[in-house]
Amino acid sequence: NGCLSLFQVVHAHKPHFMALHCQEFGGKNYEASMSHVDKFVKELLSSDAMKDYNRARVYLDENYKSQEHFTALGSFYFLHESLKNIYQFDFKAKKYKKVTGKEIYSDTLESTPMLEKEKFPQDYFPECKWSRKGFIRTRWCITDCAFDLVNIHLFHDASNLIAWETSPSVYSGIRHKALGYVLDRIIDQRFEKVSYFVFGDFNFRLDAKAVVETLCAKATMQTIRAADTNEVVKLIFRESDNDRKVMLQLEKKLFDYFNQDVFRDNNGTALLEFDRELSVFKDKLYELDISFPPSYPYSEDSSQGKQYMNTRCPAWCDRILMSHSAKELILKSENDEKIVIYDHIGPNVCMGDHKPVFLSFRIAAGAGKPIANVHKCCVVQ
């Protein structure tokens, strides 16, 4: 189902250059599922829907035995046969190389010079002893236009109760620090600065305190504590009248709100004001307007494509962000038809607990020209 939904998007938009970023490749139980991953990759590369893409680069971090390096990230890049000259940057040699053929890299990511990969240090998120969060960066050049594509996975919320305590939450502070680290890294002095797109699972959450206060404005709260430790294990919000109907139950991994429609109606737009984590980076990052419902956490029951799980407050975790210079590259069309599309995939289909999001756009011809002579994409090896 997931592949079919992806192919429908490919068919509808017919991209010449397609980048697909996956996180948690192989799922939580990756030791058992890595064989499925390889099957999926082969299927993707040989499928009829992708037959016009005659060059590909696939980077899969499958080396789960290496705890200090494993990120479970997968980055796929497909090039349409009509695209003539496309180059990829070699970070070691510091020069661009022409892309030909199809290549898959899995257990050799540490040694390929065609990408940069980092896992966040353990002390960023001490609560989580096996964190796989990190990023992979590749750099490309098409028609004199150079840009970085960064596949990112930031830290999740470990407990709804802790997320609810402060505004902004302690977890949003951890994500802020990790994203700041990535942005500093991709514009540091080692390489020439180019436009960049950062996309993946940012795990951005709504401001839990503000959301709960809004959803349960007229409710009274009951606190339930553990008998032995006295720590808060559950919060129950009940309507003050109306037979004290339960509106919301909150536990470490339970966010059970009585009316999910609030997250779906009009794509959850009413809740976008609580999506605040990106505001810290507004000088560095740009995002198109969101017009799709929260991308997480969807039910993993294959018959429940639209249903959210009641484990977390629905949120826009999956995003496509860009530098302000990248925003300038995106074609503004003369007759103002909608060429730039930012949306989610498979709205009615079960795609796992996250709905993928995609951005489709055209790079204006010669958009990179003013700086082309600087990075001399044309004199590549």
Place of tokens 């498979």: 346
Instruction: State the Cα–Cα distance between residues 141 and 377, nearest whole angstrom.
Output: 7
Q: Domain coordinates of the chain in residue numbers?
A: 1-205+267-360
Per-residue pLDDT of the chain (381 residues; tens, 9 = 90+): 778 899 999 999 999 999 999 999 877 777 777 888 888 899 899 999 999 999 999 999 988 888 788 899 999 999 999 999 899 999 999 999 999 999 999 877 889 999 999 999 888 887 776 778 999 999 999 988 999 999 999 999 999 999 999 999 999 999 999 999 999 999 999 999 999 999 999 999 999 999 999 999 999 999 999 999 999 999 999 998 888 999 999 999 999 999 999 999 999 999 999 999 999 999 999 999 999 999 999 999 999 999 999 999 999 999 999 999 999 888 665 555 668 999 999 999 998 999 999 999 988 766 765 554 444 444 333
| Three-class HEC string of the chain | CHHHHHHHHHHHHCCCEEEEEECCCCCCCHHHHHHHHHHHHHHHHHCHHHCCEEEEEEEECCCCCCCCCCCCCEEEEEEECCCCCEEEEECCCCEEEECCCEEEECCCCCCCCCCEEEECCHHHCCCCCCCCCEEEEEEEEECCEEEEEEEEECCCCCCHHHHHHCCCCHHHHHHHHHHHHHHHHHCCCCCCCCEEEEEEECCCCCCHHHHHHHHCCCEEEEEEECCCCCCEEEEEEEECCHHHCEEEEEECCEEEECCCHHHHHHHHHHHHHHCCHHHHHCCCCECCCCCCCCCECECCCCCCCCCECCCCCCECCEEEEECHHHHHHECCCCCCCCCCEEEECCCCCCCCCCCCEEEECCECCCCCHHHHHHHCHHHCC
The partner residues of 201 in beta bridges, in order of sequence, read 153, 318
Q: Which CATH fold topology does 1-205+267-360 show?
A: Deoxyribonuclease I; Chain A (3.60.10)
pTM (2 d.p.): 0.93
Work out whether the CA dihedral 2, 72, 114, 361 comes out positive or negative: positive
- Specify the residue for token string 């620090």: 177
